[in-house]
Amino acid sequence: MKDQFLVSGGARLQGSVKVDGAKNSVLKLMAAALLAEGTTTLTNCPEILDVPLMQKVLEGLGCEVTVDGGAVSITTPSELSSDADFDAVRQFRASVCVLGPLTARCGRAKVALPGGDAIGSRPLDMHQSGLEKMGATTRIEHGAVVAEVDRLRGAHIKLDFPSVGATENIVTAAVLADGVTTLDNAAREPEIMDLCDMLMSMGAQIDGAGSSTLTITGVDKLCPTTHEVVGDRIVAGTWAYAAVMTQGDITVGGISPRHLHLPLEKLKVAGAHIETYENGFRAKMDRRPDAVDYQTLPFPGFPTDLQPMAIGLSVIANGTSVITENVFESRFRFVDELLRLGADAQVDGHHVVIRGIDKLSSTHVWSSDIRAGAGLVLAGLVADEQTVVHDVYHIDRGYPHFVENLNRLGANVQRVSVEEPEIY
């Protein structure tokens, strides 16, 4: 049995919604708890499928993990296993973030090459290179990346690309290394800042958090802490685009609008009314949106995780849009599903040209990743009849209570379980 979403078109979303902690942060914070013996507690955690998956990874390493609604407590023992369970790790990409903490704590890490969303290749070259500069040896062996070192030492590391994952693994390794590590061209995403804030509350010495150059002075020991997870800017951005696509009016809380500056500016250009507050914003639209061009870039650029929402808005906008994907090469798989809905779009390399139409035509569509799944639901809201979204387990990995929140805002979305045939 598999779950589907039945999405009725024609709804105008209106009301308020509060976002929980960020998926792209909570999993990395859970991994960072490996760095300190004792109990670390995370609050404001999202109730998503990936949290119990990371729980399973940490339990396989010897931790005791308790998940209670929006709180996660992780008790890390003095002696950890250095081998991350293959079956748990391969289910989602974020599991690779245990590589840095395990190498720092144990002097060895063996982490199965992870699975996750079908959005393109995400190699571990920069992760391995960073650890090697700190004195570790790394190799790919039997489907796993293995890192070994007697003692990590500080180094000067420059990333070829501001990779979020590589930044996280290098920082979580460097906090317990001997000496000073300087990381240039580091990722600047709010989730990186959140990780640095938690590490500093554990006793780490990090300068430059939020900038492209991080200076980490290693310490002998970290202590457990309690930390509130930063709000999920991608979920918040999804609600903003949902408001504009449905010509609705949604107030979103639990997020700093600074973390969504460019996406909200793009909505203003499309004709939306945007009000920002200290811990939220309001997105209101009373007409068909205008076409806007987008190109995805690392933060503070337009986030690749909101690219499906930008495309979803563009297909029903007034005019022609050009969307350029600069981060993941397979993100345009989403466009194939929109073509089923009648969208006028043409992919050319890492660009897609979209000519907006008044309304989409409902049919069956399939999610290929978390954000594409959410984007298809939003597309279904602006289709003529009922759209059936398949493979919605992807959406459950990143959007807590998605159907319930949609329906509270005025949508008509049903979750149903059906027996789906395997397709070969």
Structural domain boundaries in the chain: 2-19+231-418, 23-228
What does the pLDDT average to over 2-11?
96
The pair of structure tokens assigned to 398 is 């990143």
pLDDT for residue 187 = 97
Average pLDDT, the chain: 93
Decide if pLDDT at 423 tops 60: no
pLDDT for residue 90 = 65
The answer to whether the beta carbons of residues 13 and 409 sit under 8 Å apart is yes
Strands 249-253 and 14-18: parallel
Instruction: List the binding residues for phosphoenolpyruvate.
Output: 23-24
pLDDT for residue 327 = 84
pLDDT for residue 95 = 78
pLDDT for residue 359 = 93
d(Cα 233, Cα 251) in Å, to the nearest integer?
Answer: 14
**Choice among 20, 50, 117, 197 that is catalytic:** 117
The pair of structure tokens assigned to 171 is 């920082």
d(Cα 248, Cα 234) in Å, to the nearest integer?
Answer: 19
Decide if pLDDT at 286 tops 90: yes
Q: How confident is the model at residue 180 (pLDDT cuts 50, 70, 90)?
A: very high
What does the pLDDT average to over 12-33?
97
State which H helix or E strand residue 324 sits in: strand 320-324
Instruction: List the binding residues for UDP-N-acetyl-alpha-D-glucosamine.
Output: 93, 305, 327
Main-chain phi, psi angles of 209, to 5 degrees: -60, 130
178 carries an active-site annotation = no
The percentage of residues in the chain with a pLDDT greater than 70, rounded to a whole number, is: 94
Q: Does domain 23-228 have CATH number 3.65.10.10?
A: yes
Q: How confident is the model at residue 349 (pLDDT cuts 50, 70, 90)?
A: confident
Instruction: List the binding residues.
Output: 23-24, 93, 305, 327
What does the pLDDT average to over 298-324?
96
Neighbouring C-beta atoms of residue 211, cutoff 10 Å: 12
pLDDT for residue 422 = 63
Structure confidence by residue, pLDDT tens digits, 70-106? 999 999 999 999 888 767 666 666 778 999 999 999 9
What does the pLDDT average to over 248-262?
98
Nearest residue to 288 (alpha-carbon basis) of 270, 275, 267, 274 = 270
Q: How confident is the model at residue 328 (pLDDT cuts 50, 70, 90)?
A: confident
Topology match between the domains 2-19+231-418 and 23-228: yes
Q: Give rounded-to-5 percent helix, strand, coil for the chain.
A: 35, 30, 40
d(Cα 80, Cα 71) in Å, to the nearest integer?
Answer: 23
pLDDT for residue 117 = 44
What does the pLDDT average to over 181-192?
97
Q: What is the CATH number of domain 2-19+231-418?
A: 3.65.10.10
R_g of the chain, CA atoms, integer Å:
21
**Mutual angle of helices 233-245 and 370-381, in 10-degree steps:** 20
Structure confidence by residue, pLDDT tens digits, 359-410? 999 999 999 999 999 999 999 999 999 999 999 999 999 999 999 999 999 9
Structure confidence by residue, pLDDT tens digits, 105-127? 999 999 988 654 444 445 789 99
Handedness of CA 168, 170, 173, 177 (dihedral sign): negative
pLDDT for residue 421 = 66
- Is-cis flag, bond preceding 123, omega within 30? no
